[in-house]
Structure 1
Amino acid sequence: MEKEEVKISVRDIVEFILRSGDIDNRRGGWADKESLAKGTRIHKKIQRQMGAAYQAEVPLSYRFCYEDLDILVEGRADGIEEKEDHVMVDEIKGVHRDLRYVEEPVLVHLAQAKCYAAIYTEQNQQEQMEVQITYCNMETEEIRRFSYLFDAQELKIWFQKLADTYYVWAHRYQEWKKERNASMTGLEFPFPYREGQRDLVHGVYRTILREKQLFIQAPTGVGKTMSCLYPAVRSVGEGISEKIFYLTAKTITRTVAWEAFEILKKHGLRWKSLLLTAKEKLCVCENMECNPAACARAKGHFERVNDAVFELLEKEEIYDREMLLSYAEKYQVCPYEMSLDLANWVDGVICDYNYVFDPQVYLRRFFAEGIKGDYVFLIDEAHNLVERGREMYSAVLYKEDILKIKKLVKPYRKKLEKALERCNRQMLEWKRECETYRILPAVGNFSLALLSVMGEMENYLEELEDGNLRKELLDFYFEMRSFLYTCDLIDENYVIYTQHDEDGRFRVKLFCVNPAQNLQNCMDKGRSTIFFSATLLPVLYYRQLLSGRSDDYAIYAQTPFAKEQKCLILGRDVSSRYTRRGPEEYGKIAEYIHAVAVSHTGNYMIFFPSYRMMEDIFERYQELYGTDEAEVLLQSSSMQEDEREAFLERFESDSAGTLLGFCVMGGIFAEGIDLIGERLVGAVIVGTGLPQVSYEREILKQFYDGKQENGFDYAYRFPGMNKVLQSAGRVIRTREDRGVILLLDERFCSPDYKGLFPREWEEYVVCDRKGVGKILKEFWER
């Protein structure tokens, strides 16, 4: 029988086995910035200066053979130089840190170099090797080197011990995979297939097999979660893929995914699932200060965390928030950092989009430069990824923040103050040239000035004790780092602009108009991506904004619900246009809402384009109809979690009267909630959901007009219609449900909007205020 092969990089094995000490966000968190283009340039410059005997970027690998598996350790040495009596291996690290504070090499940096030295001595029969760690300050290009001489036998013993330690983990993981894969023998789809669902399952499987991407428009009731998850799980069991990342934008959809895994486990699946939870929701400290002075668990965390993870893997299979907190308490480690380590060894990770896509917080152990795996990305409610993608790949800096930091450091750090003043002068120049907002061709020397600030600030932070000043500097430092990272991403998909905010502040923004290529760069780290949503229309729009490929597949799943279950009505004599807003128009809209309320006793949600309009129409409704025939609840803009739950609890199926929930389109009640049966019998959608006119929306419109597309569609109509579809989707959740959907805006009757209706909206009735009551009465009497 052929042995399993486990591949691991030199960097990964040393960082996993040899890390030690404390979690400490006060020191050295900014030391290694090789992701910046400047770090790569420094690397190459040092390599060129080393002479003819110096070989750069030398690939090395070594296979450790055990009885049941082989471990292949591989990597690329920055440099190898043959000297007169020995050979030297060089590990280069570009840093922003002042080299005066680098008193010795970081342990894992030295260990990386020792791995390369051990491999080279074994393969080239060397008696001894020189190991050199080269640190280079990326601002000043100053260099500091640390050099050590090791005997070949010493290196061999050290390297073997490192591999033996890792083997314990690799062996256990391989044994687990056998158990997991065996559990899939005979594992069938856990429900009777609905119409079209089998084709959907096969489509997902083929997409993964062919290493493609798939867009699925799946109406409510199709069972899209299980239809995507089941074939993905089977692909892991068959060795086609190695790990599933189930990505969501909201907590509620993470719960749905978790429950789907649980259903499969009840049918015999052995599977390790991790629900990644935000750091602030896992932190046990009052203030989230990740250092040994503020948190006892941070001290010595890396000495204990591997033991915690190993026991978790030995004894448990599901890892939710409660499980993580329990083991973190037992081993006195940080639950968040422990969960990130656990992600390496589980089969499925359920998490927010940002753990894969956000350059500030993505899981570097899976998605850093040069790392790739056979991962399957299942992207739930994928329509949300457009705006989230824009946010993740955009960056902003405020002139006022630069000035504030400059004043704070002025008494203590003249050099840093001058560097900040150079940035402030550039912002002042832009401000004088900007009346409201202004598009810039480039940021010019501003990024270089920020790099200078970054270097000086890191030197200061090395000396600065804890306190308010340090916290202010760190917050600004990370904003600046994000801006500089984004500068490296700027291409034809970006617009750079300056703007005077309504509060008087002045900013420069790197606006990622089309995030598709940045998202694609992340998805290319895996094998296959499945985008799915009930509102992925028009699919061409989402393909252009979410995918960098031209050969993606697409499936439109058929609704399992009968057309008789719903009544779709278009109100043609009202509008939410700004020019029509006022007491008269609000009275007409209130008349429609009242007609719905008196037509059939039950619970309804009324969705509005804004809180202001919702409140104005609520007042008009009360003036005209009072609250005798229906109770009205209003969503507030500052609802806490307990208030949201209390709001939804009012939508009970056995209610004796009529309840109207006034809500906002695109808000917390417009997506991801399930009110089945009599808990919700209708939805009224007021307006077309168009985003509010803003400078940024106008930039989007101009950008796509310039691409020969309909800019209004991309900036306003498509995002607005998505909100409408999401709100309407709260009605009819099962085959037993019946309900009404009332679209109140004359624009819905135009071809521009009807062309965006999903297939299941082919049958509708157009009416006015006088006729709506009769239509509703006939529907409910069927």
Structure 2
Amino acid sequence: MKIFFPHDSVRPQQSELINDIVKALHEGKTLVANAPTGIGKTASSIAPALSFAIQNNLKVFFLTPKSSQHEIAIQTVKMMNEKFGLKIKAIDLVGKGKMCIHPLVSHVGAGFYEACNSAKKSGKCVFYSNTKGSTKKQKADALKRKSDVLTQYGNSYDKIKNACFVKELCPYEVTIEMIRGANLVICDYFHIFNDEIRQGILGQAGITLGECILIVDEAHNLPKRVRDMLSTTLKAEDLKKAQDEAKTIADEDAMKALDEIILEFSSLVNNIPFGEAEAVLDPDSILPLRLLAKKKLDLLEDAASVFMNKINKENSFLLASAVFLHTLCQQKKHTLHMVERQKNSLRVSIYPLDPSELTADVFKKSASAVLMSGTLTPLDMYADILGIEDFVLKEYTSPFPKENCLNLFVDRTTTKYTERNSAQYDEIASIITMTTAIVPGNSIVFFPSFEILKVIEPRLGIGRKVLIQEKLMSQEKKSRLVSDFKALGRGFGGVLLAVSGGSIAEGVDFPGENLRCAIIVGIPFAKVSFQSKALIDFYEKKFHKGWDYAYNAPAINRAVQAAGRVIRTESDRGVCIFLDKRFSEPMYKKFFPKNFSAITTGSPEELVKKFKF
């Protein structure tokens, strides 16, 4: 099979990955690949997948956790077309809310899909009406209006959105129609792993999962993202405000329905033990509310539509209540339900535990799949928790010279809860201060939490400009913080104090002079909560690996992700310091990638001094 690889040369690691993908495609298997930064995962996966798909009349879905990662896939296809004279058609599909141009509905947060459906049903969305039409003449007019846009393959969603705005068309519906003629669909996880959305997309395209090759990028994010799809929370006061809205539109049936729902919702407080603030609800306790939700959901959705149209609002408490009840009706078998009491407020939350209830069937029915990430270890864990059956597990070596990165495990400090004290914090601060003074350029210190950051920050004696990530930062502020930090790298250098597991630790590249050193303070475990305990118990029962799968492995992955900010290109050189004695212990060390190596030391300053940046 000819592979339409877009670049002039293929590196050894790329060749290995491509060959493994081709083998998995021919055998109809799922390749679970831990592929470090620099291999060129996007080109190495899209090229063989599209080459196979074109010859076998299949479609490729390239799934990402963030729309910012779509551009590189679009450019890869453009390069393939230019190099081989192909006409591969790619589309950029993002969330319906992000593509919406309706002046009111586009501003809805939670409950967007219900608001969108309401506007379509009531004829209040001219963009949808212009795209679809209902009568024969309207459909003919719609086809004429959108004909030019339907051929604009290979563009970012922004360009499609702008083209649709000019013609007063729904960008999302137009893009969905384009799938039928596309070879590659670049989209989000939820477009495939949300049952309702996937069925709508594939149904309109006239295809089944069996005709789709799935490439899941940054696949270490998939389990949490799938859980988040069916996670939701509702407060008792939101139901009461929804009742006020029903009263505004004089909807007696909705008011009565909410009376019943509020009564059942409020009774859940009886499950909280005396002196406690929260409790886990057993299936029998939540069942009456779930049965009630199934009966009253349509009624509340209709009332929300009438209210929003009458008041001319883009959101409502009726809608928020309907969204919660809809999720409650959708819930899977292994779901945690929580009830919490906060002062005069009562809150009920839904947390799915088993992502395989959504993912297993998708992988089983697809033609083939590739899951890839630089932190997809341990590989068998991801195969287990995602319910993948016919799989191939593979770890690849980094294409970057090993001597370019110095990894150090420092065994003289820890942030372990039982060992936290003032002397320990002083020791951590001292190592950070001395190390960052030696580094010729920028350093980032990643803390396990904002609480630890706040404790250690005043103890630092750093003689350079220090920037600090805040707990609640807007995207604009965060972008400015990163930009300011990178600018410091062009001069004397600065120090950024951030948190492992946050967007700076995972979603930002710092190539070259932008970053010379990363210090990971402590193992970034998730906070112990009812949710984390439930997840540990669930994986213990299912795999006998509760603590490893739900707690330890995700924490080490967060640490590795943070350290991965340092070496982003072949010419980068830098130091990664893991500042906690537990990192070198076998029970945690086993979760690092197989090709990872580190020196254990009590004096990192001496080794950093000798390193050639």
Which residue does 2:516 correspond to in 1? Answer: 681
User: How far 1:553 sits from its partner (Å)?
Assistant: 0.9
Match of 1:366 among 202, 205, 215: 202
Matched, 1:441 2:275: no
User: How far 1:504 sits from its partner (Å)?
Assistant: 5.6
Residue 526 of structure 2 aligns to a residue whose secondary structure is coil
User: How far 1:367 sits from its partner (Å)?
Assistant: 6.0
Matched, 1:262 2:75: no
Quick one: structure 1 residues 323 and 616, their matched pair in 2 at CA, closer, same or farther if it must change by over 3 Å? same
Query: Which structure is higher in RCO with an 8 Å CA cutoff and minimum separation 6?
Result: 2
Question: Aligned AA for 1:743?
Answer: F
- 1:742-780 Cα shifts (integer Å, max 9, x gaps): 001111121111111212323x22222xx2221111223
Contact 1:665 1:689 in 2 (8 A): yes
User: How far 1:608 sits from its partner (Å)?
Assistant: 1.1
Residue 530 of structure 1 aligns to a residue whose secondary structure is strand
Matched, 1:485 2:317: no
- 1:32-86 Cα shifts (integer Å, max 9, x gaps): xxxxxxxxxxxxxxxxxxxxxxxxxxxxxxxxxxxxxxxxxxxxxxxxxxxxxxx
Match of 1:328 among 139, 156, 164: 164
Match of 1:664 among 499, 508, 522: 499
Contact 2:6 2:83 in 1 (8 A): no
Matched, 1:774 2:606: yes
Residue 553 of structure 1 aligns to a residue whose secondary structure is strand
User: How far 1:593 sits from its partner (Å)?
Assistant: 1.4
Quick one: structure 1 residues 715 and 749, their matched pair in 2 at CA, closer, same or farther if it must change by over 3 Å? same
Matched, 1:453 2:296: yes
Residue 310 of structure 2 aligns to a residue whose secondary structure is coil
Q: Counterparts of 1:24-173 in structure 2 under 5 Å? A: none
User: How far 1:669 sits from its partner (Å)?
Assistant: 1.4
- 1:303-326 Cα shifts (integer Å, max 9, x gaps): 454335432344x33121342133
- 1:94-116 Cα shifts (integer Å, max 9, x gaps): xxxxxxxxxxxxxxxxxxxxxxx
Residue 105 of structure 2 aligns to a residue whose secondary structure is coil
Partner Cα distance (2:605, 2:388) in 1: 49
Which residue does 2:433 correspond to in 1? Answer: 594
Contact 1:309 1:341 in 2 (8 A): no
Quick one: structure 1 residues 549 and 187, their matched pair in 2 at CA, closer, same or farther if it must change by over 3 Å? closer
Q: Counterparts of 1:217-616 in structure 2 under 5 Å? A: 217-239=34-56, 241-268=57-84, 269-288=86-105, 291=119, 296-302=126-132, 303=138, 304-314=141-151, 316-359=152-195, 361-362=197-198, 364-366=200-202, 371-409=208-246, 412-435=250-273, 436-442=278-284, 443-457=286-300, 460=303, 465-467=309-311, 471-486=316-331, 490-491=332-333, 494-500=334-340, 502=342, 505-546=345-386, 548-616=387-455
Partner Cα distance (1:709, 1:620) in 2: 42
Long gaps (5+) in structure 1: 1-183
User: How far 1:520 sits from its partner (Å)?
Assistant: 2.2
Partner Cα distance (1:305, 1:717) in 2: 54
- TM score, norm. by length of structure 2: 0.87
Quick one: structure 1 residues 428 and 325, their matched pair in 2 at CA, closer, same or farther if it must change by over 3 Å? closer
Percent identical pairs in the alignment equals 26
Matched, 1:633 2:467: yes
Quick one: structure 1 residues 501 and 580, their matched pair in 2 at CA, closer, same or farther if it must change by over 3 Å? farther
Matched, 1:647 2:504: no
Which residue does 1:746 correspond to in 2? Answer: 581
Partner Cα distance (2:454, 2:370) in 1: 40
User: How far 1:222 sits from its partner (Å)?
Assistant: 1.6
Partner Cα distance (2:493, 2:530) in 1: 42
User: How far 1:460 sits from its partner (Å)?
Assistant: 4.6
Residue 12 of structure 2 aligns to a residue whose secondary structure is coil
Contact 1:273 1:317 in 2 (8 A): yes
Which residue does 2:10 correspond to in 1? Answer: 193
Partner Cα distance (1:283, 1:503) in 2: 38
Partner Cα distance (1:286, 1:461) in 2: 18
Quick one: structure 1 residues 643 and 568, their matched pair in 2 at CA, closer, same or farther if it must change by over 3 Å? same
Residue 221 of structure 1 aligns to a residue whose secondary structure is coil
Question: Aligned AA for 1:551?
Answer: D
Question: Aligned AA for 1:639?
Answer: M
Residue 193 of structure 1 aligns to a residue whose secondary structure is coil
Question: Aligned AA for 1:704?
Answer: Y
- 1:540-568 Cα shifts (integer Å, max 9, x gaps): 2111112x233211111111122211111
Contact 2:444 2:495 in 1 (8 A): yes
Which residue does 1:765 correspond to in 2? Answer: 599
User: How far 1:689 sits from its partner (Å)?
Assistant: 0.9
Partner Cα distance (2:30, 2:543) in 1: 26
- 1:176-227 Cα shifts (integer Å, max 9, x gaps): xxxxxxxx97844524222232121011112122221110011111222211
Quick one: structure 1 residues 371 and 273, their matched pair in 2 at CA, closer, same or farther if it must change by over 3 Å? closer
Partner Cα distance (2:353, 2:491) in 1: 49
Contact 1:700 1:715 in 2 (8 A): yes
User: How far 1:285 sits from its partner (Å)?
Assistant: 4.5
Question: Aligned AA for 2:68?
Answer: I
Partner Cα distance (1:431, 1:473) in 2: 22
Partner Cα distance (2:143, 2:17) in 1: 40
Residue 316 of structure 2 aligns to a residue whose secondary structure is helix
Which residue does 1:67 correspond to in 2? Answer: none
- 1:633-687 Cα shifts (integer Å, max 9, x gaps): 1122343344333333332596231211111111111123322222211111011
Quick one: structure 1 residues 197 and 714, their matched pair in 2 at CA, closer, same or farther if it must change by over 3 Å? same
- 1:4-40 Cα shifts (integer Å, max 9, x gaps): xxxxxxxxxxxxxxxxxxxxxxxxxxxxxxxxxxxxx
Residue 69 of structure 2 aligns to a residue whose secondary structure is helix
Residue 357 of structure 2 aligns to a residue whose secondary structure is helix
RMSD over aligned Cα atoms: 2.8
Q: Which structure has the larger Rg?
A: 1
Partner Cα distance (1:519, 1:496) in 2: 18
Long gaps (5+) in structure 2: 107-115, 133-137
Contact 2:335 2:354 in 1 (8 A): no
Which residue does 1:721 correspond to in 2? Answer: 556
Contact 2:409 2:579 in 1 (8 A): yes
Partner Cα distance (1:456, 1:293) in 2: 19
Question: Aligned AA for 1:631?
Answer: K
Partner Cα distance (1:210, 1:350) in 2: 24
Contact 2:439 2:517 in 1 (8 A): no
Higher strand share: 1
Partner Cα distance (2:257, 2:153) in 1: 52
Residue 300 of structure 1 aligns to a residue whose secondary structure is helix
Partner Cα distance (1:418, 1:460) in 2: 12
Residue 503 of structure 2 aligns to a residue whose secondary structure is coil
Counting matched residue pairs gives 582
Quick one: structure 1 residues 385 and 434, their matched pair in 2 at CA, closer, same or farther if it must change by over 3 Å? same
